[in-house]
Homo-oligomer: A and B are copies of this chain.
Amino acid sequence: MNALGRHILAEIYGCDAEILNDRENIERIMVESALRAGAEVREVAFHKFSPQGVSGVVIISESHLTIHTWPELGYAAVDVFTCGNDVNPWDACNFLTSMLNAKHMTATEVKRGIFEQPVKVANL
């Protein structure tokens, strides 16, 4: 199987509600998670909801990281999607989970962009 990318869908429960509701902190954690995994950050967009919750994305050369937080539930939905072999999405996912002081995390890895023949991609 020749896949362009690996996409982790992480369900992160029992997080610190204050962290989840702090837009600047969430943005810093997400960018740091991308960098620690060796990704190259291209664009960043975060939004704070009223009365609570943060949504945001870090577009990386290798694809993206997204987060949506529900402080009132201690829950965050996180995606880490990476292409190529240089970045391990689990590095970002695990670091991020630890930074949210999460009690438990479950995650699934999905392959993206599956082709019958090996594919060579120009921009990685």
Contacts and interface: CB of A to CB of B under 8 A. Distances in A.
Given A112-B9, A113-B75, A57 B63 contact: no
Given A47-B59, A68-B64, A7 B9 contact: yes
* Range of interface residues on A (Cβ < 8 Å): 35 or more
B52 A43 contact: no
A29 interface: no
A45 interface: yes
Query: Oligomeric state, in number of copies?
Result: 2
Given A9-B110, A57-B59, A4 B49 contact: no
A68 B63 contact: yes
Contacts of A110: 9, 108
Given A113-B11, A123-B51, A56 B56 contact: no
Contacts of A53: 122-123
Interface in A19-69: 42-47, 49-53, 55-57, 59, 61, 63-64, 66, 68
Interface of A: 4-5, 7, 9, 11, 42-47, 49-53, 55-57, 59, 61, 63-64, 66, 68, 70, 72-73, 75, 77, 79, 81, 83, 108, 110, 112-115, 119, 121-123
